[in-house]
Structure 1
Amino acid sequence: MHKRILYAGPLAAALLAAGCQTTKSVTTAKQPVIETLGTHEVPAGEFAYVYRKNNGTAPEFGTRPSVQEYLDLYTNFKLKVLEAEQRGLDTTQAFKRELEGYKQQLAQPYLTEKSVTDQLVREAYDRMSKEVNASHILIRMAPDAAPADTLAAYNKIMALRQRVTGGEDFNKVAAETSEDPSARDNGGKLGYFTAMQMVYPFESAAYRTKVGEVSQPVRTRFGYHIIKVNDVRQAQGEIKVAHLMIRATPGMPKADSVTAKKKIDELSSRLQRKEPWDKLVAQFSEDAGSAANGGELPPFGTGRMIPSFEEAAFRLQNPGDLSAPVQTPYGWHIIKLIEKQPVPKFEDMEASLKSKVSKDSRSELNRAAFLKRIRTENQFTENKAGKDFVFAKADTSLVNGRFKYTAPAAPAKASKTVGDNSPLFTIKGKPYLVKDFLSYAQQNQRAKKGAEPRFAMQQLYDQYVDQSLTDFEKANLETKYEDYRMLVKEYRDGILLFQLMDEKVWSKAIEDSVGLQKFFAENQSKYQWEPRVQGTVISAATPDLLKQAQTQLKAGRYEVKRVVPGP
C-alpha cells in the first residue's frame, strides 16, 4: 500500500498546533493531513490527539524524534486496520455487535450530569457523619397516581399531621392509621438510620427536620409520609462482631423456649470462665452460616441488623468484649466484639458512593438535570397544534389499556391541515411526527383505572419526549464530543486489529503446524548470534594488584591472601 506523508512546517510544531486546543465539540473544518495511506487521509489532529494521549507525560514529549518514532508506530497500526477493512472484517455481524456493546458503555458518562453527581456524592458522605432516629406515618399512593388520587392522599396525610402536631401521640396515631404494615407493631418507629439507607426524598426530609419536630408531607414512590425526628447522634461507623446463637422463635412451645434460654445462659457462664470462644461456637452455635468461622459476621453499620442485636453490639467497647445473652426474633445470641471501624475518609469512599448514587433514587435528580440541559442544547420545540391533535385522541380506551392506532399512508402532497403526519415537536429541526408518537402510545400504554384520559396521554407524551431527547443525544455524541469520538474510533480500530491478527497470525499459528515449520526453516538464519567473543574483565584497586593479576592470569590461578585477625 502506497504511503505519502505531508508535513505542514516542522513536524512536531505542526502536531502540537493541531492538538493544543481541547474543545467540547468536534470541529467540522477541514483539517491538515499528516499522511495518506493509499487513498486514506490521516488528519493531523487525529494523530496529535493519539500522540498526546499516549505520550503526554513522557519527558521527551513534543520533540521531533519522539513524534517521528510514534508516527512510524501509528502508521503501521493504521495499515493493519486498513487491511482489516479491505478484508471486510468491519462488515460482519459479530464485529457490529461487539462495537455497539462498547459504544453503549462508553456513552454512559456523557448521558449524565457530572456536577450533579459530585454534589450528591458529597452530600451523601456529609450526611454519613450523623445518624437519625425517626418515626413515620405513610399514606400509600402509586408513583404515577392521577391528580385526584394524589390530592386525596395529600389531604389525608395533612389531616394526620394536624393531629400529631396538635398534641396526639405520634406513635399511637401511626399504629392506628399508617399504611405501613409494620406500624401496628412498632408505632411507625424506624430506629436509627444514616445516608443511603432510605429513599432519597425521605432521607432528605429526615435530615432537614429538627429533633422533636414533624416534617411537612414528603412524597416518595411509596406514597406520602410525615416524619417525626426523635434523635440525632454522631455516626458510629461500622462494627465487626462474631456471635453464638441458640435458635428460639416467637411461636415455639414454651418448654422449648425455656430450654433455649437455659442453654444460652449456661454457655454465657462458660465463656465468663474463659472457655475457648471458637470451640464453644463450633460445638453449640445454631447459625450454620457462621459457626465454622468462629461465628464471624460481615461488618455492618447502623440500620443493618435487628435493633436489639445492633444496640447490644455497639455497646461493646473493646475487642474481645462479650455481651450478655440478647434476644431477637431468631433466638438468643452472645455477641463478641472483633473491631470497630470509623466512617472512612471521603477519598476512600468516593468511588463506591458514586456507584451507589447512580443506582439510588438520587439518580432521578441527575436524570432530570441531564434532560433539562439537552432540551436547551438540542433546541427542543413543541408544536402546539400537533400536541392538541394528539391529546384530542385520548379517551377511555387509553385509560383501560386498549388504545388502538393505525398510521395512515403518507399523503400524496403536503397538507396545511394538522394531522397524523404533522410534527409533534422538533429536536434541532428534526421533526417527530404525530403518527410515530401515537404508535408509541399504543405499544407502551398501561391500564390506569380511574385516571383521566388526558393525564394518561400526558404521561406517555413525557416518556416519549425524554426517550427521544436521550436517543438524539446518543446518536450525536460522536459529532458533539471529540473525546467520545476518538475513544469509539480507538475501540473500533482495536477490535479490527485483534480480528486481523487472530486470522493472520494466532489462529494460523495454532492450526498450521506445517507452515510454522516451513517459516522457521526459511527464517532461522535471520535470528542467529552475530560474531562474538568470550572474555574476562579484571578490575584492580592499584597498579601492583593489576600486575599480580596479570601474572597469575597466565597460570589460570588467582591466589587470595586472607588477613587473619590477631588474638
Structure 2
Amino acid sequence: MRNMILAAGLLASAVAGAAGNPDADTLVVSQGVARVTLGDVDAYVHRIPETDRKGFVAKPERIETMLRNMLLDKQLADEALKLGLDKDPIVQQQIALATENALSRARMEKFRASLKAPDFSEQAQEDYLANKKKYTIPKRYDVKHILFDIKSRTPDQAAALANETAAKLAKDPSQFDSLVESLSDDQSKKDNHGLIENAASESFVAPFADAARRLENIGDISPPVRTVFGYHILKLVSTAPEQLQPYEKVRESIISRLQAEWMEARIREKIDGLRNETMNPQPEVLATLRERYGKIEEPPAGPAASEPVKQP
C-alpha cells in the first residue's frame, strides 16, 4: 500500500502536464497480467473536465483508487477475451457505443478549444456601470455573541437562560464580555472571545445575519435569537459602510464571466443545433420496446384499482 501511495504521489506531477505525452507506453503499475501505462492514465484523466484535472491528481488517494480500478478492469477484460466474450453481439454493440461516447467527448473538447471569445472590455465596463449594486460590498457588521446551545440542554432550557441573560444585560450592558467568557457555549470563544466578523454575510444562517443587520448603533444588544445552533445574544462592536469596488479591481472577473457565458452559449447552440435536427422515429419498432426487455405487469382492474380509498 505504501509503495502504491508513493507511486501515486510521483504520478501526480507527471500526469498534470501529460497531454500529448510521447512516453505513452511507459509502465506506471502492473498487477498480474494487467499493465497500466502513462497512455492509459492520459486517456482516463482526459475524461475529467480540464478545470478539475489538477485538483484530481493533487490527491494521492484518488490516483491510487484510479490505478486500482484500472488494473481491475484490465484483469477482468483479459479474462473476458480469453472466454471469447468480445464475440458476443451485445458486447460488440457496447464497445461500439463506448467508442462513440469517447469520440463525442473528443469532438466537444475540440469544439470548445476552437472557440475564440471576442474582446469584452467595452461590455465589461457597461455591465459595471449598469449593475453597480452587484459590485458593491454590503455594509459590514462585526458583533460579539453569547451562545446557549441546544446540544447540552433542551430548547426551552436554552431559551430560559438566554432570556435571563438578556435581562441582566438590560440592567448592565458592561457585563457582556465577561458573560461571553463565563456563559457562551461557542467553543471558538477561547480564540475570538465571541467576535464574529462580517456577521450579516451569507456565510451565516439567516436568523443570525438578520439579527446583526437590525443592530443600528455600536454597543446595541439584540434580544435572544433562535438558530439551529441554539439561542444567541448579539452585541454590535463595529460597522463599515457599503462600498462600491473600483472598476479596475473587478474588471478581470467581469471579463472572465462574460467570456465563460459566451463560450457556454456557443456550446449550447452547437448541441441544440444537433438535437433539433428532424427525428425520424419508427413507431412500429418503438411500440415493441416495452415488451422487448421484460413484460410490465399492469395493475389489476376492478374497484380496488379504480375507486378511491375511503376513510373509515
TM-score normalised by the chain length of structure 2: 0.41
TM-score normalised by the chain length of structure 1: 0.24
Higher helix proportion: 2
